[in-house]
Chain A
Amino acid sequence: MKYDDPQLRDKLAAEYVLGTLRGQARARFQSLMRYDGALRSVVKDWESRLAPLARAGTDIAPPERVWQALSERLAGEPRRPRWWESLALWRGLAATGAAFALVLAIVTGVSPEAEPPMAMIAVMNDTQGRPAMTVSWPSMQAVRDRPFLRIRVIQEHPVMAPGTEWELWMLPSGEGSPVSLGLITTDVDQVMELKPELAARIDGARGIAMTVEPKGGSPTGKPTGPMVMKGPCVKL
C-alpha cells in the first residue's frame, strides 16, 4: 500500500481516530505515525474534529477504588518501580541463554505419560540468577477441557517456610500488574490447573514470577511478599 497518497493518509487517519482501523492495520498505522510527524498532525486534526462527540455521552463517575489504586501507585514518588514494572528484569533473557538451553533439554527431553507437547516455557531464575524452576504449558487449544501448567523444580531452592505459600504470577503484556495464577502447594514438580479465563491470556504473558505470600495467598490480589523467582516467557 502506498502511504504517501494524501487521500489515503487522510482516510486511514480518520478511520484510526474513528476506531474502525483494527488489528494489524491499526498496529501498522501506529508504527507509521511514530516516524511521521505530518501523519500525526493529520490524526490530531481528526481527533479535534471528533473529540467533542466522545465527550457528549453521559458522565459516569468511576468507583472510589480506581482513585485509591491510583493514589497508592503515586504515593511516595519518586518511588522505586515495583519489580514487575522494571524492564531490566526482562532484559536478562539473552544472558541466560546457555542455562536456558540446558534447562530446555531437561524439560523437553522428559516425556512422561501421553501429554501434549509444551508450547511455551518460562525458566524462572532465583534471586541469584540461577535457573530454579520452570513453568511450561501446552497449546491451550489442545487442552481446552482442562487447561494446566506444568511446574518443574530444577535445582535447589529455598524451602517453603511454614505458614507461607508460593504464589505464581503472570505478568500480562503491556503495563498491566501481575495476575495470580494460583498457589503452589508443595515445592516439588506439580501440575497446576488453570482457570479458563487465565488460559485465554497466558500466551500473551511477558513473564512468570513467584512470590512468598501468607497462607491462602496474597490478601490484596497483588503480590505482597518478596519475589523469589522470575523468568520471561518463551515460545518452544
Chain B
Amino acid sequence: MSEPARDAQAARLAELLSQSALRNQRAFSELYAVTAPKLFGVALRILRRQDWAEEVLQECYISIWNHAGEYVAARSAPLTWMTSIVRNRCLDWLRRPQQEATGDEYEIALDAWRDESPGPVERLAAAGDAAALARCLGMLEGRQRQSIMLAFFHGLSHSEIASHMKEPLGTVKTWVRRGLERLKGCLQQAESS
C-alpha cells in the first residue's frame, strides 16, 4: 500500500472507531469488514487453533466496541491499537495453564512457519509498509531475527523457541534481548536520519 493510501485508510479507520464510540452499528460493521481478516490472521497465528481464534476475535471486537471511545486517548494508529488488543488477548489466553499444551497442530504450525520463514519480512519491505522495520530486521543476526519472529509472529514462548531451535533456554533469551536492543537502536537511527 502506498503511503497516501495508508494514511487515508488510517483516517477512515479512526473515523469508524469514533462513530462506533457513538454506538453507530453500521460504522462498526464496516470496521469489522475491513479489519477482521487482518486481526483473525494475527489471532490464528498466535493461538494456532481455529475455535480459540474465533472466540478471542469475537471478544476482542466486543471490547473494541465498548472501548472505541478510548481510542483517541491511545494516540496510536487505529490498526496498531486494534492489533495490540488482539495480541494481548491472545497472550492472556495462552497464559491459562491448561491451554499451554499443544499437540500436533503446534507442529503443523511450525512446519508452515519454515516455508514462509522469509515471508513476513519480505512482505513488509515489498509493501513499503514500515520499510525501516524490515530493513532493521534484515540487519539482525539470523538467529536473533528468527527468535524474534517466532515469538512475535507465532506467539512462541522462550522455552518453545528453545525447543524448536534446539538451543539452550539462556541462549535464546539472550538472542531475543540483544535482537530487541539492536532493533530499537536501528529504528531510532532510521528515524533521526
Stretch at the interface among A16-24, A131-139, A187-195, A220-228: A16-24
Residues on A with C-beta less than 8 A from B184 are: 10, 14, 49
Bound-state Cα–Cα, A26 to B42, Å: 20
Bound-state Cα–Cα, A58 to B112, Å: 12
Partner of A22, one of B149, B157, B183: B157
Partner of A55, one of B42, B148, B158: B42
Question: Nearest CB to that of A200 among chain B residues?
Answer: B98
B40→A60 contact, CB < 8 A: yes
Q: Residue A93 at the B interface, CB < 8 A?
A: no
Query: Interface centre among A52, A69, A77, by most B CB within 10 Å?
Result: A52
0/1 string, A157-175, CB within 8 A of B gives 1: 0000000000000000111
Contact of A59 with B41 at beta-carbon distance under 8 Å, contacts A53-B152, A69-B58, A70-B61 already known: yes
Q: Residue B12 at the A interface, CB < 8 A?
A: no
Q: Residue A48 at the B interface, CB < 8 A?
A: yes
Q: How far is the CB of A19 from chain B (nearest CB, A)?
A: 5
Report, as a range, how many residues of chain B touch the other chain. Answer: 35 or more
A52→B129 contact, CB < 8 A: yes
| Residues of chain A at interface, number, CB under 8 A | 46
0/1 string, A42-62, CB within 8 A of B gives 1: 001001111111111111111
A53→B61 contact, CB < 8 A: no
Bound-state Cα–Cα, A44 to B81, Å: 9
B37→A59 contact, CB < 8 A: yes
Question: Nearest CB to that of B159 among chain A residues?
Answer: A22
Q: Residue B87 at the A interface, CB < 8 A?
A: yes
B180→A70 contact, CB < 8 A: no
Q: Residue A88 at the B interface, CB < 8 A?
A: no
Q: Residue A128 at the B interface, CB < 8 A?
A: no
B124→A53 contact, CB < 8 A: yes
Partner of B180, one of A14, A22, A52, A65: A14
Contact of A19 with B87 at beta-carbon distance under 8 Å, contacts A11-B177, A57-B120, A60-B37 already known: yes
Residues on A with C-beta less than 8 A from B32 are: 67, 70
Partner of A204, one of B46, B96, B187: B96
Using a CB–CB distance below 8 Å, which chain B residues touch chain A? 23, 25, 28-29, 32, 36-38, 40-42, 44-46, 53-55, 57-59, 61-62, 65, 74-77, 79-80, 83-84, 87, 91-92, 94-96, 98, 119-121, 123-124, 127, 129-130, 133, 137, 148-149, 151-153, 155, 157-158, 176-177, 180, 183-184, 187
Using a CB–CB distance below 8 Å, which chain A residues touch chain B? 10-11, 14-15, 17-20, 22-23, 26-27, 44, 47-63, 65-67, 69-71, 73-74, 77, 173-176, 200-201, 204
Residue contacts A-B, CB under 8 angstroms, 30 given? A11-B177, A14-B184, A17-B84, A18-B148, A19-B46, A19-B151, A19-B155, A20-B151, A20-B158, A27-B95, A44-B74, A51-B80, A52-B129, A54-B152, A55-B79, A56-B119, A56-B121, A56-B123, A56-B127, A56-B129, A57-B45, A57-B123, A58-B41, A61-B37, A62-B40, A63-B54, A70-B32, A74-B65, A77-B25, A175-B59
15 further contact pairs, Cβ within 8 A, besides A14-B180, A19-B157, A51-B83 = A18-B176, A19-B151, A23-B95, A44-B76, A47-B80, A50-B133, A53-B133, A53-B152, A57-B119, A59-B41, A60-B41, A62-B37, A67-B36, A74-B28, A77-B23
